[in-house]
Amino acid sequence: MNAPNSYRAQPDDRGHFGAFGGRYVAETLMPLILDLDREYKAAKADPAFAAQFDDLMTHYVGRPSPLYHAERLSETLRASAEPGMGAQVWFKRDELNHTGAHKINNCIGQILLAIRMGKTRIIAETGAGQHGVATAAVCARFGLPCVIYMGAKDVERQQPNVFRMKLLGAEVRPVTSGAATLSDAMNEGLRDWVANVHDTFYIIGTAAGPHPYPELVRDFQSIIGREARAQMLERTSRLPDLLVAAIGGGSNAIGLFHPFLDDPDVAMLGVEAAGHGLDKDHAASLAGGFPGILHGNKTYLLQDEDGQIAEGHSISAGLDYPGIGPEHAWLRDIGRVEYDSATDVDALDAFQMLCRTEGIIPALEPAHAIAAVARRAKTMRIDQIILANLCGRGDKDIFTVASALGVSI
Amino acid sequence: MNRLAAAFAKGRPALVCFVTAGDPTPDATPAILDALVAGGADVIELGMPFTDPMADGPAIQSANIRSLAAGTRTADVLRIAAGFRERHPDVPLVLMGYANPMVRRGADWFAQSCAAAGVDGVICVDIPPEEDDSLGEQLRAQDVAAIRLATPTTDAARLPRVLAGAGGFLYYVSVAGITGKQQAVQASIDDAVARLKAATDLPIAVGFGVRTPEQAANIARVADGVVVGSAIVEIVAQHGQRAAAPVQSYIESLAAAIATASKEPA
């Protein structure tokens, strides 16, 4: 395949990223999706919209997030590498954002769009609860009622976030259908939306769903990569050699990657959740899935030969989604980004390693990225730079980790 | 005249009946389909089960779960359709469902399989006209109707887009919502049907939330067809393997109401 002139020009007018993406929704939603597309185009061209977004990013979210050179982690990894090997590891510290993850970047952008469109009620789905908390926070900030759909199984394993959402004034509706996790929460969100299109805005939490969601979520999250690129140039006068980010739906990864896509010397690695292993239960849609249509877009899906969707599994509730954002599907197929995976065990090991070497408790989602960083750093020279997105903090996961380590708290 | 056109040209509104294939088991479905025909159904909508039926309410969600739990495969759905075609050469049957099971082996494969099984049309919930090249083109190439949905949110500016490439009949979803419980106000249905009829020669069938003979009769006074789904699926849920007889008597009550309605002046 010939390389395109720019890797940053997707999607096309119909919301297609190569063979992926699109607008696969019920007719009831179609007019609203088209409205959203028009409104987003207008907002993008409106300096007042950008100014309001930037102001909230600075004063509400706490951006720019720091770029941090993890020297002890780098040294630790170097200790088991060949002489001259062991890259420098740097982190984009999006776990320091208000509400504890990158999710808030997108929620601010989408609620500003909702207000522009005159919508008065917000719904969202959530897996780990980070997107739910971020949505609940912006709804409180702007005084809009908020309903969060969350799989009943996730409600159980993410109690701290459930309580946070309630404190922020959101109504959390547990979803018991299917596997009672993220995918089912998304189905229920779509059912609510189709019945309430006149007044309701659906804040989708990842760079997936019908066009224009994958594009607008990417654009709002691209603040991660824009900041990181400028910070890295300022600190080191060069660009990183490798970007690494964890992937469920893929919003933190596309946010980091997108501003670097046209930098030919920057390699990129997305890390899917391999759960118990790629030959067992996992949530790695690229590694173990096939193209299909779900939740409004065409992308890689975990599914059987009849097109029935499989349940994803990961120790991280934020990664166990059976699909992936369509731009990642495209970037994989054209070869611009490499994709790998990390198991539950890999992630738990990396989680503990970061705690002990850097004094940072990461969320289980970026722990998957850190596991891949640990593998890659040893294969890269000592003068090379890996930049990984530390997309969430681990406070929410301490009960899950304790349980996995056999500790009762 | 093809089977679908003939079903809407009987001089009275058509009764369109939905059940989920494989609910409660693949082996039980043929008798339920026969009961629909015996009760007076003019068009059969056979639902293809899917793990993620995001446009459906609890009744049809549960039917999907029961069917998949019973091991229903795409091959079973096509076999049920082909068997129906042998037993009922003149009764139109359309498949209704979600995109992913339909396109999994390729849209051409699916369209050819539909044609081979004697399927007259396909209603795909989550392929709007904007994505017609994902399935619609392939269906039309096999003379299988791509049946489109219009909803209360489909305005006059958008309607021509919905109608381009549409075949069989136009399914008016009378409620902005999921299948099952809510019912549309009759006046809103009257207005919508008048608007749709002005824009197309396709027959207009109205569905979502239709469960009583009275509702069916009211819709029959203005529309070319009445679609009933969740109410039938609930009878199947209640009676399981013995659902055929109660399904037939329920369909008879709907058919009688529609026949009466059509004799009254509009």
Domain contains A8:
no
B162 and A28: CB-CB below 8 Å? Answer: no
How far is B86 from chain A, CA to nearest CA, in Å? 25
Please determine, for residue A158, whether its predicted confidence score (pLDDT) is greater than 90. no
In a domain, A11, yes or no: no
B186-240 confidence digits (pLDDT tens): 899 999 999 999 999 999 999 998 999 999 999 999 999 999 999 999 999 999 9
- Are residues A162 and A69 located together in one domain of the fold? no
- Picking from A182, A199, A217, the residue at the C-terminal end of a domain is A217
Whether A75 maps to a domain, the answer reads yes
Question: Mean pLDDT for chain B?
Answer: 95
Among A26, A181, A301, residue whose Cα is nearest residue B55 = A26
ipTM: 0.96
Q: How many alpha carbons lie under 13 Å from residue B13 in its C-beta half-sphere?
A: 30
Residues A245 and A146 both lie in one domain? no
Q: Do the Cβ atoms of A73 and A54 come closer than 8 Å?
A: no
Please say if the pLDDT value at position B104 is more than 70.
yes
Q: Report whether pLDDT(B266) > 60.
A: no
Same domain for A276 and A374, yes or no, is: yes
pLDDT tens-digit readout, B156-171: 999 999 999 999 999 9
Residues A174 and A305 in one domain: no
What digits encode the pLDDT tens for the residues B250-260? 999 999 999 98
- The total of structural domains in chain A comes to 2
Chain A residues with CB-CB distance to B173 below 8 A: 27-28
Q: Out of B23, B42, B56, B120, which one is annotated catalytic?
A: B56
Judge if the upstream peptide bond of residue A11 is cis by omega within 30 degrees of 0.
yes
Beta carbons of A195 and B178 less than 8 Å apart: yes
Is B45 among the catalytic positions?
Answer: yes
In a domain, A270, yes or no: yes
- 3-state SS, residue A261: coil
Burial of A383 (0-12, 13-18, 19+ CB in 10 A): exposed
Q: What integer best gives the mean pLDDT of chain A?
A: 96
Task: Kindly report, residue by residue over A202-256, the tens digit of the pLDDT.
Answer: 999 999 999 999 999 999 999 999 999 999 999 999 999 999 999 999 999 999 9
**Which CATH number fits the domain that encloses residue A256?**
3.40.50.1100
CB contact under 8 A, B148 and A27: yes
Residue A366 lies in a domain: yes
Q: What is the pLDDT of residue B182?
A: 80
- Please answer yes or no on whether B177 and A303 come within 8 Å at the CB atom: no
Cβ–Cβ below 8 Å for B128 and A191: no
**Minimal Cα–Cα distance from A265 to chain B, Å?**
36
In a domain, A409, yes or no: no
Considering only the beta carbons, identify the residue of B51, B57, B154 that sits closest to A31: B154
Give residue B179's pLDDT. 86
Residue A409: pLDDT above 90?
A: no
Do A79 and A31 fall within a single domain? no
Choose one of A217, A237, A253: the last residue of a domain: A217
Dump pLDDT digits (tens) for A20-59.
999 999 999 999 999 999 999 999 999 999 999 999 999 9
Using an 8 Å CB-CB cutoff, list chain B residues near A307.
50, 74, 100-104
Residue A149 lies in a domain: yes
Residue after which a domain boundary falls, among A202, A217, A232: A217
Q: What does the pLDDT read at residue B264?
A: 61
- Statement to judge: residues A282 and A295 lie in one domain: yes
Closest residue on chain A to B56 (Cα): A191
Cα separation, B61 vs B55, whole angstroms: 9
Fold of B3-263: TIM Barrel (3.20.20)
> At A183, is the pLDDT very low, low, confident or very high (cuts 50, 70, 90)?
confident
- Answer whether B130 touches A (CB < 8 Å): yes
Q: How far is B51 from chain A (nearest CA, A)?
A: 6
Catalytic residue among B45, B76, B224, B234: B45
In this prediction, residue A218 carries a pLDDT of: 98
Q: Is residue A159 domain-shared with residue A226, that is, in the same domain? A: no
Q: Do A253 and A210 fall within a single domain?
A: no
What pLDDT is stored for residue A318 in this prediction?
A: 83
Q: pLDDT-based confidence at A3, cuts 50/70/90?
A: low
Listing DSSP states for B66-104 in one string gives HHHHTT--HHHHHHHHHHHHHH-TTS-EEEEE-HHHHHT
Whether A231 maps to a domain, the answer reads: yes
Q: Which residues of B touch A29 (CB under 8 A)?
A: 153
Of A24, A31, A303, the CB nearest to B158: A31
Which structural domain range is residue A299 located in?
62-100+222-404
